[in-house]
Amino acid sequence: MSPFLFILAMEGLHALTCKAEALGLFKYASIGRDNLSIFHLMYADDVIFFGEWSWVNAHNLISMLRCFFLISGLKINVHKSNVLGVGVTDEEVSHMANIIGCGVAKFPLKYLGVLVWCNMARCTNWNAIIQKFSYTLSSWKARLLSVGGRLSLIKSVLGNLPTFYMSIYMMPVSIRKKLESLRNNFFIGADLDDKKMTWVKWNRCLASKKESGLGIGSIFGLNIGLLFKWIWKFLNNNSDLWPRVIQCIYGHDGGISAAPNISHKRSTWGSIRLSIQSLKQKGIDLISLCSRKIGNGVGSRFWDDNWCGEQPIKVMFPRIYLLDTDKSCNIASRVCLLDWSSVLRRNLRGGVESF
């Protein structure tokens, strides 16, 4: 029962934070062009508070946590907490941490096992994955296992080690080749320091059994599939918090149809878009394979979403799109209307149009 009781207590902390924001005691952080407000994020027993950088805001946050302790009996360990400043100097962060009595966090940092604010295009940031692969391979002697045993170990263990990282970041080519080389050497029965002749191409082993392969699966295919999962979730359910953050930064469609610029390529979402568009240039259009369920039409936009045909309505009928007075309308507001002329008609500006 203790995990369920803890969830109830965290719900009280959530309500207390929202109450403090409503009274103007805690100023939240805004994101994007729509000024999306984010107060806090909770995961298990980890809580992150987002607020404006000011002494008054920090004092009110500590007071709010003190009130939560008096109400629930759950005391926050300030000494194990950290303060992180964005756009402020290190001296200000250190001074704030000394007053609060907590530690100082700096970018890049690791949160929930994943590096944050780190350029994952650099191969050095993937050393942890290579070390996990090498450790797993070194703990097993390949020559002591049969071919079936090595194949089962590769499928069940080695293919799942980098899944957490590959579900968020695009793996560099050199790292991917290094991991494939480790898997190949282990499969043919060679230890890490041994060199053994390969009788079958590794790409043939990666192919599915229908294509006369062993069905091991490539790391590149797994990486693309895990990254495209976020595109799929964004297109099918954009009412959650993280799709709303993406919409505030990149637009309603998340910038999926547009080419990523230089600044967006460095971000996590920009790298996901870049990987999908690079496949499209090679003739593999994953976006076209997605279909959207309209439902009641409230969560789908009439002009922007691809719900009728292979292109959005605004692309198929650009002149009618220019005449619409509400370009951000949903499907329900258009399909249920009986008089379409009142929707698509614009006000007269005089001249020839008035006759």
9 contacts: CB under 8 Å, gap ≥ 6: 72, 74
DSSP secondary structure letter of residue 115: E
Low-confidence stretches of the chain (pLDDT < 50) are 337-345, 352-355
Q: What is the pLDDT of residue 83?
A: 93
Provide the whole-model pTM: 0.75
Q: Please report the DSSP string for 123-158 in residue order.
A: GGGGHHHHHHHHHHHHTS-GGGS-HHHHHHHIIIII
Q: Which helix (H) or strand (E) holds 174?
A: helix 173-187
pLDDT per position as a tens digit, 251-306: 877 888 776 666 666 788 888 888 888 888 888 888 777 766 677 777 777 887 77
Sort 201 into a burial class: Cβ within 10 Å, 0-12 / 13-18 / 19+. exposed
Q: What is the pLDDT of residue 130?
A: 87
The domain locations on the chain are: 2-111, 123-217, 223-289, 293-355
Nearest to 158 by CA among 179, 173, 144: 179
CA-to-CA distance for 97 and 114, rounded, in angstroms? 24
Q: Please report the DSSP string for 178-205 in residue order.
A: HHHHHHHHHHTT--TT-----SS-HHHH
Contact 260, 277 (CB under 8 A): yes
CA-to-CA distance for 105 and 242, rounded, in angstroms? 23
Contact 238, 299 (CB under 8 A): yes
Q: Which two tokens stand for residue 23?
A: 């009274």
CA-to-CA distance for 151 and 156, rounded, in angstroms? 9
Given phi > 0 = left and psi -120 to 50 = alpha, else beta, which region is 217?
Answer: left
